[in-house]
Amino acid sequence: MNVNVEKEKENVVNLNITIPAKDAVDAYNAAVRAIAQHVKIDGFRPGKAPRNVIERQIGVERIKQEAIENLMQKVINQAITENNLDIITQPYITNYKFNVGEDVTVTVKAELRPEVTLGQYKGLNLEVKDAVIEKDAVQKQLDKLLEQHSTQETVIDRATKDTDIAVIDFEGTCNGEKIQGGDAKNYPLDLGNSNFIPGFAEQIVGKNLNDEFDIKVTFPEEYHDEKLKGQPATFKIKINEIKERKLPELNDEFAQKVGPFKTLDELKADIQKYLDNQRERTNKQNSENEVFKAVVESAKVDIPQSMIDREANSLKDEYKRRLAAQGIDWDVLVKAQGEEQLLGNLNEDAVLRIKNSLVIDKIAKEEQIKLEQKDMETKLTDLGMAYGLKPQDLIKQLGQNPDLIASISQQAMNDKVRDFLMQNNKVEVK
């Protein structure tokens, strides 16, 4: 086999491969035998029809195609290895010339990994801002606990306050037309934490039980429904019930109720420990990010547009799936934010993701950082805990998805390189 590597553009090469006639004939005959097993021909048992009959029935070109496909995986792998090519995507055939009995010529297009020039990635001295715990952080956590264990009591002798829950009927109209999905019966609206249209909940404060009234609001300009953007609307409201939150008393008894604590002081100490650990985790994460950011920014890499486009399309598909899971339509988002803005953001994210990956791979190569079995085991254990799966169940699922295994391997390598960077650089928390 003879291979001529021809550079086309940027990081794209053409492999002009010549396969000896004998190898091509062997592949052709093997393709005939394989096809014969699955083709029903009158007068012959499966696999017993002679070559000339198969050629008449199936066509010589179809057999050649089968032979080329069977040959190429081994041939391409050999060509890549012998020429020490660092391929980043699956190569593909662009042209071939196959006459039975003659040498076969095949042209294969392949995309190479862009060259990365690392800047300083060891011996850095950096600073990050301390994730300081606010003075009233413990009290805020206690307030949340009190809120979670609060009860609701019905009120009949006063008007609504902004801390109440009002159970209401409402029906909205815009430009004389009923708003689709703009009505409900006995809806419990938290007047202090409403995600309704701005001004909606505020106009219900100060009203009494059984009051019926109209409120007027204006939909935000960035509202997802094109017909309602920036439009004025009127809602008919009826208050069916007013509920007041009652917080439990903050004492030892409350501490015993919310956890394995005997006293309120023990609960406070546990919250403080949680906050301290959270601060430590945040500082560690920020330190890792600061080091990695400095290392990536100092590296030089010329990323081809084809790689950016491919990664941006992948990010776009991921984004669409996440939006669909939230009930958001991509086309609606495009109208709201503008296609140019959205695609521009995706391209920026694609460039950053590609550069991050290339820099990690380059450092791993330079420092001979290799993935070991224990690294994968640690990663799988972490993922299993995150998704509530036993390691053996997770491995079984991964066995059905090779792409996911590759992704997890890359994540494990990312972790290992980040650990290396933290061991070889200094970060001061200030």
Stated as kind and residue range, the H or E segment containing 6 is strand 2-9
What span, in angstroms and rounded, lies between the C-alpha atoms of 34 and 51? 11
**Would the pLDDT of 420 be above 90?**
yes
Quote the pLDDT of residue 230.
93
Say yes or no: domain 151-246 is CATH 1.10.630.10: no
Question: How many distinct helices (H) and strands (E) make up the chain?
Answer: 12, 13
- The conformation of residue 88, written as its DSSP 8-state character, comes to -
The dihedral over CA atoms of 27, 28, 29, 30, expressed in degrees to the nearest 10, equals 50
Phi, psi dihedral angles at 129 (to 5 degrees): -80, 135
Task: Output the DSSP codes for 219-255.
Answer: --TT-SSGGGTT-EEEEEEEEEEEEEEEPPP-SHHHH
Give the residue with greater pLDDT, 413 vs 44.
413
- State the average pLDDT over residues 102-125: 93
Quote the pLDDT of residue 199.
95
Quote the pLDDT of residue 336.
72
Which pLDDT band, with edges at 50, 70 and 90, does 38 fall under? Answer: confident
What span, in angstroms and rounded, lies between the C-alpha atoms of 113 and 108? 16
Stated as kind and residue range, the H or E segment containing 2 is strand 2-9
Residue whose pair of structure tokens reads 């095949």 in the numeric block? 106
What CATH code would you report for 2-113? 3.30.70.1050
331 backbone φψ class: left, alpha, beta (φ>0; ψ -120 to 50)? alpha
Burial call 151-185: b when 16+ CB within 10 Å, e when fewer = eeeebeeeebeeebbbbbebebebeeeebeebeee
Quote the pLDDT of residue 243.
97
Quote the pLDDT of residue 237.
98
Quote the pLDDT of residue 67.
87
Which pLDDT band, with edges at 50, 70 and 90, does 356 fall under? Answer: very high
Which pLDDT band, with edges at 50, 70 and 90, does 252 fall under? Answer: very high
Query: What is the CATH architecture assignment of 264-429?
Result: Orthogonal Bundle (1.10)
Give the residue with greater pLDDT, 247 vs 56.
247
Quote the pLDDT of residue 271.
97
- State the average pLDDT over residues 269-280: 97
Quote the pLDDT of residue 182.
93
8 A C-beta contact, residue 63 and residue 143: no
Which pLDDT band, with edges at 50, 70 and 90, does 158 fall under? Answer: very high
Quote the pLDDT of residue 403.
72
- State the average pLDDT over residues 217-243: 93
Q: At what angle do helices 330-337 and 339-366 cross, to 10 degrees?
A: 100
- State the average pLDDT over residues 41-64: 80
Nearest CA among 107, 102, 78, 93 for reference residue 28: 102
- Strands 125-128 and 426-429, sheet pairing: parallel
Quote the pLDDT of residue 151.
94
Nearest CA among 172, 112, 147 for reference residue 302: 112
Quote the pLDDT of residue 145.
96
**Would the pLDDT of 330 be above 90?**
no
Quote the pLDDT of residue 51.
81
Q: What share of the chain is helix, strand, coil (3-state, %, to 5)?
A: 50, 20, 30
Nearest CA among 65, 108, 75 for reference residue 1: 75
Which pLDDT band, with edges at 50, 70 and 90, does 376 fall under? Answer: confident
**Would the pLDDT of 268 be above 90?**
yes
Quote the pLDDT of residue 349.
92
Tokens for 160? 């609504």
Q: What is the pLDDT of residues 382-405, one digit of tens each?
A: 888 887 777 677 777 777 777 778
Which pLDDT band, with edges at 50, 70 and 90, does 203 fall under? Answer: very high
Quote the pLDDT of residue 55.
82
Which pLDDT band, with edges at 50, 70 and 90, does 246 fall under? Answer: very high
Q: What is the pLDDT of residues 281-313, one digit of tens each?
A: 999 999 999 999 999 999 999 898 888 998 999
Q: What is the 3-state secondary structure (H, E, C) of 314-331?
A: HHHHHHHHHHHHCCCCHH
Which pLDDT band, with edges at 50, 70 and 90, does 322 fall under? Answer: confident
What letter represents residue 357's amino acid?
S
Structural domain spans, the chain: 2-113, 151-246, 264-429
What letter represents residue 282's amino acid?
T
Quote the pLDDT of residue 278.
96
